[in-house]
Each structure stands twice: as C-alpha cells, then as structure tokens.
Amino acid sequence: MSVIEKVELAHNAAGRTVPSMVNGKPQIPFLGPGKYQPRGRKAAPPISSNKDYPDTGDKRVANLEAALRQCGLRDGMVISNHHHLRDGDRVALMALEAAATIGAKDLMWFPSASFPSQKNAIELMEKGVIHHIEGSMNGPLGDYCTQGKMRGMGVLRSHGGRYQAIQDGEVHIDIAVIAAPTADFFGNADGSHGKSACGSLGFALADSTYADRVIVVTDNLVPFPCVPCQIQGNNVDFVVEVESIGDPAKIVSGTTQITRSPDRLRIAELVAQFLRATGIMKNGFSFQAGAGGIALAFVEYLKQMMKQDAVKARFVRGGSTKFLVELLQEGLTDYILDGQTFDLDGVKSMANDPRHVATSPFTSYNYHGKGNFASLVDAVVLGATEVDVNFNANVVTHSDGRLLHGIGGWQNCLFAGCTILALPSFRDRIPVIVDQVTTLTGPGEMIDVVVTERGIAVNPRRTDLLHALKGSKLPVRPIQDIKAEVENICGKPAKPKLGDRPCAVVKWVDGTLLDTVWQVSESHY
C-alpha cells in the first residue's frame, strides 16, 4: 500500500494532528504565526547557455509531446501549470495526456489550482501516469482525494505558500507548462491580450523562474517582441502553438454578478458600515475583496459611502472585476494591484490602463521574502466555510470533511490590518459558527471580525476595533451569542465522523503543517 498507511502523527501548536512525513518528505508542524525561522538559500534552476538556444530566438517546436520529449520527461517528474484560465483551461490536461502518450509514469502534478473540468486527471491517476496532485482540489478531484484513492497525499498551499515552496526548494518543478494567451517565438508571454485573455499571469511567475524546463503554450503567437510581457522568454525553453488554450467563456465571466439575496446584501452592507464606523475607510486607505457575491456587493456599498464621505483609496487589491474597475475609472482609487482577473472588464482594464497593475504571488503573498503587499492592506473581506468561537476558520473543506476549495490567497490575506470574514450565519441549516472547525486553515489570532446577517462579532483581541465601535448603531455581538441563536434555529448539528487516515495536508504560509484533511467516511448516520 501507499505511504499514507504508515505515517506517524504529531500535534502542532494549534493542537491539530498532522503527519510527520508527507509524500516521503519530513515535515515541520505549525509552530504558531511568525514562529518558524527558515534557513539556507533559495533554490535555483540549473545554469543554461545561449549556445543551446537558437540565435534566431525561435524556440518553437511542433507540439507538446515533442516539447516534453526535448525537456527530457521521465517517470516521477514534477509537472506544473497555472490556473489563470480557471475552469476553461485546456493546457494542463493537454500536457498530462501528452506525457501519458510518451509513457511517463508516477508524475506529480503541481497546478496552482485544479478545476472540475480537469476531472480527467482521475483517469490519469488510475492509469498510473499521475502519482498524486499537490495543489487545490475540489469537485470530482477533491472527492477522489478525500475518499483516499490517491496514491500520495494532497498538499494544499496558499498562493503565497506555493511560491514559498518553490522558492525554498521544497517543491522542485522539473517541467513547467505555461498557458499563454499571447506569446512570441522567444517565449515572452502575456495574459491580457488574445482571444483567450485572462489578465494577470502572476501564478506562473515562480514556475517560469525556478523550473528546470519551461514550455510556453499559446493560441496567439505574435511576432517578437510580445509587449507587454509578464513571463520573460529568457526563462523559456520551448514555445508550442496550439489551436486553443481554453474556452474563453469559462476563462473569465462576461459579467460578474452581485448577490441578489437580501440576507447576503445585508452582510455586505454591514461590512461596509463597519469599515466606515471604525474609521478604516479614510483617505489613502486600501482594501481587498474577492469576486464572491457578498464581496462584490460590499464594494458597491463601500463605493457609495466613499462618495458620500469624499474618501479616496490609494490602492485596492484584486481579484479584479468590473466593480473594482469602476472604482478606478471614477477616481475612487489610484491603483488596482491585481493578482487574478475575474471578468472581461478586468481583462480590458489591465490591458489598457497603466494604473491597473498585474501582480504576482512574489510581490503580494510570499511569506519568505522581504515583506509583501498583503500586510500593507488596511482591510480584507474574505469568506469561509466555518469559523469557531475563537475565530479559527476553515476554508478548504465542507463541514463533513470533503474538499471544497483551495486556500487561494486566503491565508496570505490574513496579514491585512483588519481581516473580516463575511458569512451567512447558516447555510442549508448548517451553522457556520461551530465549536471546532473541521479543518483549520487560518489561526483565530489573525482573524479580526466575523460579519453575519445576524450581527458583527469582533475578536476580543481587537480592543481597538471594539473601542472604535462604541456608540455606533451596528449590531455588534459576542460570537457565542450568534452561535447560540443559530443553533436555536437549526438545532445543534451532529459531529460528522471523520476517518483516521490522512489524505491531504494544509500548509501554513511558512511551509509548516497547519492541519490534516482526513479520509471521509461514506455513511452519515
């Protein structure tokens, strides 16, 4: 049987049980935020020589199979992809299937995130082409993992954590296959133009600079030079031209939708009112909000308040959408610092407006660096599946332990000046505030506020926020109160039975092990 069977377990500083070895590598249990001191030097790819590359600059090869062969694909290698094309991506499966044709076995697939449309990866795992996946998994791939069917353990990292793992040499990428909406034959590549435009290509930065071999795959080859470019051709070995890198309809949404649920709108408005009441919303401030329905509505409410109070932000962080673009165009922010681009307005804006800046996990999220943007942000609005009475939160699994989401930038964003979770107090009868979260993804000491439709709970550690809210009419309540009220409505949920076999681990931003995802038991009651 696989390595998973005989793994030793240890307790970490958060009281969670984590394996001491993951996929054959020894692990450090989470020591507490800011407690782990990394040592040594960064990883680096081998030195290349121009003599091995054409003076014409033309690095094109016929197809992915040829490119993988020329990269020296072997059994057990690590193949990486980025997920900027989201559920519309065709390149990752194309690469893995080409590897299968060549006859490679036991590969580790290392995407920055996987999507339901990539469920064919299951077949490749069944055939032995892929040994295991390290990267976010949900839908069918998530179920495959939590049912214990994957040969190795899943490793869930934040966007910053993935950069850190590559930079620190924890994960060595043998071959990076980078989907590029626009590229030239030299390998310069850009995401904000072309029929498959996706905006930023930031998630591929680490892959392009640290992998042994880099292949750029594009469906929009332009004559040298590709301007602007986010991926430098000087890091690229081969360029492959294909008919289509993805389904544009699924790469970005035509329009992102604001929630229409009155309850969620209420949550969004409470968040905006909270920022105003605490004085966080002031001239020169900054905030980050994602593309979820509540977050988008929050931006709309905040925008009205910024106008009323004549307040302008210095920068906003995306996931950019039409709503952030409007802030920029209406002069309510000086810049958008964009990590990924969710809709067509965002893509267009990045392509045309120099104040809409593409960023990468290196600048925004990497914890093993000399600072990052995430801690400079005044307030961030995030979601979660569960939060406990000590403000510890889960974002990766359903309450029953099945994988639901990747961590994304969520952990990295916890370093903002004020971290706000905006959540309905229950979903489908299942309370969101619990005694203990199923899977710990963010330590409670880093989460400041939980906003639900039934009230705002402020972490008692944040006496400054509580003080700022004195005299406001906002429904500020202890988190235990909201929990009790919801349990009164829903009934106290039974504790789901989790297995005792680890099938994936959750890494903290410094590479230490925060928690374990356990194999899910099939029967419920």
Partner 1 sequence: MSSATETTLPRSAEAGHWGKDVRSDVHVAFEARDAGGVEISLESRVAAYYGSAILEQTRAVLAELGVQHARVAIHDEGALPFVISARIEAAAKRAGIALGKRSLPAPYPRPEACPPEPAPPESSGPPPSGSESSGKDRLRRSRLYLPGSEPKYYINASLHAPDAVILDLEDSVHRAEKDAARILVRNTLRAVDFGPCERMVRINQLPLGLEDLAEVVGESPDLILIPKVETPEQVQAADRMIGEIKARSGVNRPIWIMPIVESALGIENALAIAAATENVAALTIGLEDYTADLGVVKTTEGRESQYARSRIVNAAHAAGIQAIDSVFSDVADMDGLRRWAEASRATGFEGMGCIHPGQIRVIHQAFQPAAIEIEKAQKIVAAFDEAQSKGLAVVSLGSKMIDPPVVHRALKLVERAKAMGVIS
Among 429, 463, 480, 501, binds partner 1 (CB under 8 A): 429
278 or 438: CB nearest partner 1 = 438
Task: Say whether residue 494 binds partner 1 (CB under 8 A).
Answer: yes
User: Distance (Å, rounded) from C-alpha 148 to C-alpha 217?
Assistant: 33
We find the least distance from the C-beta atom of residue 482 to partner 1, in angstroms, to be: 12
89 or 453: CB nearest partner 1 = 453
Task: Say whether residue 263 binds partner 1 (CB under 8 A).
Answer: yes
Among 37, 428, 470, 500, binds partner 1 (CB under 8 A): 428
What does the block give as tokens for 473?
């009419």
Task: Say whether residue 139 binds partner 1 (CB under 8 A).
Answer: no
41 or 260: CB nearest partner 1 = 260
**CB-CB contact of 319 with 348 (8 Å):** no
With CB under 8 A as the contact rule, which of the stretches 219-227, 244-252, 325-333, 482-490 interacts with partner 1?
482-490
What does the block give as tokens for 352?
């045309």
Helices (H) and strands (E) in the chain, counts: 15, 29
Tokens 């009112």: give the residue.
273
Task: Say whether residue 491 binds partner 1 (CB under 8 A).
Answer: yes
36 CA to centre of own chain? 22
244 or 436: CB nearest partner 1 = 436
261 or 329: CB nearest partner 1 = 261
What does the radius of gyration of the chain's CA atoms come to, in whole angstroms?
Answer: 23
44 or 489: CB nearest partner 1 = 489
11 or 495: CB nearest partner 1 = 495
Of 101, 91, 47, the C-alpha closest to 69 is 101
Among 453, 456, 505, 517, binds partner 1 (CB under 8 A): 453
Strands (E), 385-434: 386-388, 393-394, 418-422, 426-427, 430-431, 433-434
We find the least distance from the C-beta atom of residue 153 to partner 1, in angstroms, to be: 23
We find the least distance from the C-beta atom of residue 303 to partner 1, in angstroms, to be: 16
Task: Say whether residue 524 binds partner 1 (CB under 8 A).
Answer: yes
351 or 474: CB nearest partner 1 = 474
Task: Say whether residue 496 binds partner 1 (CB under 8 A).
Answer: yes
Q: Which stretch of DSSP H or E encloses residue 341?
A: strand 333-341
Of 265, 206, 238, the C-alpha closest to 95 is 238
**CB-CB contact of 384 with 425 (8 Å):** no
Q: How many residues bind partner 1 (CB under 8 A)?
A: 21
We find the least distance from the C-beta atom of residue 402 to partner 1, in angstroms, to be: 9
* 119: number of Cβ within 10 Å: 15
**CB-CB contact of 338 with 320 (8 Å):** yes
User: What part of residues 391-410 is at the interface with partner 1 (CB under 8 A)?
Assistant: 399-400
The 20-59 contact track toward partner 1, x by CB under 8 A, reads: ----------------------------------------
With CB under 8 A as the contact rule, which of the stretches 83-91, 103-111, 316-324, 485-493 interacts with partner 1?
485-493
* 55: number of Cβ within 10 Å: 7
**CB-CB contact of 210 with 162 (8 Å):** no
Among 83, 131, 317, 454, binds partner 1 (CB under 8 A): 454
Task: Say whether residue 305 binds partner 1 (CB under 8 A).
Answer: no
249 or 489: CB nearest partner 1 = 489
Task: Say whether residue 460 binds partner 1 (CB under 8 A).
Answer: no
Strands (E), 130-192: 130-133, 154-156, 175-180, 182-183, 189-190
We find the least distance from the C-beta atom of residue 424 to partner 1, in angstroms, to be: 9
145-148: long-range contacts at Cβ-Cβ below 8 A with a sequence spacing of 24 or more? Answer: 145/403, 145/503, 145/504, 145/517, 146/397, 146/401, 146/402, 146/403, 146/503, 146/504, 146/517, 146/518, 146/519, 146/520, 147/503, 147/519, 147/520, 148/4, 148/499, 148/501, 148/503, 148/519
Bridge partner list, 90: none
We find the least distance from the C-beta atom of residue 430 to partner 1, in angstroms, to be: 6
Among 95, 121, 153, 265, binds partner 1 (CB under 8 A): 265
DSSP 446: G
**CB-CB contact of 259 with 424 (8 Å):** no
Task: Say whether residue 488 binds partner 1 (CB under 8 A).
Answer: yes
Among 262, 331, 354, 471, binds partner 1 (CB under 8 A): 262
Which residues are at the interface with partner 1 (CB under 8 A)?
262-263, 265-266, 399-400, 427-430, 453-454, 488-491, 493-494, 496, 524-525
